[in-house]
Amino acid sequence: MRLPSQQKPKATKSASANRLSTPVFSRGNRATQPERPKGARSLASVLEQELNAPVTINENGQRKTVTKLEAAIKQLVKMGLSGDLRALQQLLALYRMLRPIEGEEAPEAPTRETDAQVLQGILKRMQRDAGGDDA
Considering the domain boundaries, does residue 31 fall inside one? no
Considering the domain boundaries, does residue 4 fall inside one? no
Question: 62: domain range?
Answer: 55-100
Cβ neighbours of residue 88 closer than 8 Å, sequence gap 6 or more: 79, 80
Cα 78 to Cα 57: distance, rounded to the nearest angstrom: 14
Q: How much is the pLDDT for 118?
A: 83
- Identify the band that residue 88 occupies on the pLDDT scale cut at 50, 70 and 90: very high
Cβ neighbours of residue 79 closer than 8 Å, sequence gap 6 or more: 87, 88
Considering the domain boundaries, does residue 95 fall inside one? yes
Considering the domain boundaries, does residue 69 fall inside one? yes
Per the structure, the count of domains in the chain is 1
Cα 28 to Cα 34: distance, rounded to the nearest angstrom: 11
Considering the domain boundaries, does residue 6 fall inside one? no
pTM: 0.47
Considering the domain boundaries, does residue 123 fall inside one? no
Q: How much is the pLDDT for 48?
A: 92
